[in-house]
Amino acid sequence: MTRVAAIDCGTNSIRLLVADIDETLSDVVRRMEIVRLGQGVDRTGRLALEAIERTRVALASYAAQIHALGATQVRMCATSATRDAANAADFRAMVVDTLGVEPEVVTGDEEARLSFTGAVRGLTAEPPYLVVDIGGGSTEFVVGGSTVEGAISVDIGCVRMTERHLHSDPPTAAEVAAATDDITATVDRALSAVPGREARTLVGLAGSVTTVAAIALDLPGYDPGRIHHAVVSYDEVAKVTGDLLAMPTARRLEIPVMHPGRADVIGAGALVLRVIMERAAMPAVVASEHDILDGIAWSL
């Protein structure tokens, strides 16, 4: 048995998994902090200094816990925000200084494959699967059964779409329409690049999907055990999306399952999920709490 530490640093959040691995993966600890590393990247092309500092603080806490728990292998993957940023070298230097390992700025294809690996282990639904990982800056589409048949990463994450289109609180009908058009065109391109419409099961990953699922389930608090592998219909996703887009951020914050750092971007994330289901003609989505973080751990 090997104790490993996996860190996924995305556009919106940074997450830690310390796990013991033999034939199965057993969680020791999972943590998530909203650091909004991709703040303004779509507009400026650079990581904001305050965003790098927020990430450093979270990473320092993770590094201390990794050391205390005795993980012998550590892998950190940095995704969309650090692929896009002109000052990515400053971010990498901070990570090496704080964590002691070099962050791997993975390609969109590798990000997609790690997400697929994490999502489908232990899944009993009918293959082939269309796995969609809706992040802050990008969304990964992966199709496969026992192996990956096709993968693509596209720039329609919840933070990016909010910053690009949804400027009002709540967003106007015109803003929602512009976001929908942008997302639809990109989703159609992704589904043409991979055989997504041939899949039998849609699996949705990351915070936007699990939050929508938790709202649809009317949970009194965020409960990963109830959310993992929950099946949510298209009609339920469409209703939750419409409700979220009609609410100001302050009202979203009152939803029991809502993480405070997700409230301002959840409308865009839900919209991405709804459009994917429409364009892929999927009647339901299986929500998964296992995603790229688990894939990073398995890779060790």
Residues 172 and 287 in one domain: yes
- CA-to-CA distance for 18 and 35, rounded, in angstroms? 20
In a domain, 260, yes or no: yes
Domain final residue, candidates 105, 121, 144: 105
Kindly state whether residues 126 and 213 are assigned to the same domain: yes
- 222 and 97 co-located in one domain: no
Residues 221 and 117 reside in one and the same domain? yes
How many whole angstroms separate alpha carbon 35 and alpha carbon 13?
A: 5
Give me the long-range contacts of 118-121 (CB less than 8 A, separation at least 24). 118/205, 118/290, 118/291, 118/292, 118/293, 118/294, 118/295, 118/296, 118/297, 118/298, 119/203, 119/205, 119/288, 119/290, 119/291, 119/294, 119/295, 120/144, 120/203, 121/25, 121/290, 121/294, 121/298
Q: Print the domain residue range for 73.
A: 2-105
| Collapsed DSSP state (helix, strand, coil) of residue 140 | strand
Domain count, the chain: 2
pLDDT confidence of residue 10: 85
| pLDDT tens sequence across 223-271 | 998 999 999 999 999 999 999 999 999 999 999 999 998 999 999 999 9
Same domain assignment for residues 64 and 169: no
Residue 248 and residue 152 in one domain: yes
Q: Output the pLDDT for position 196.
A: 87
Same structural domain, 251 and 142? yes
pLDDT of residue 271: 98
Strand partners, 231: 286
Do 22 and 140 reside in the same domain of the chain?
A: no
258 and 286 assigned to the same domain: yes
Sites in the chain below the pLDDT cut of 50: none
Residue 299 in domain: no
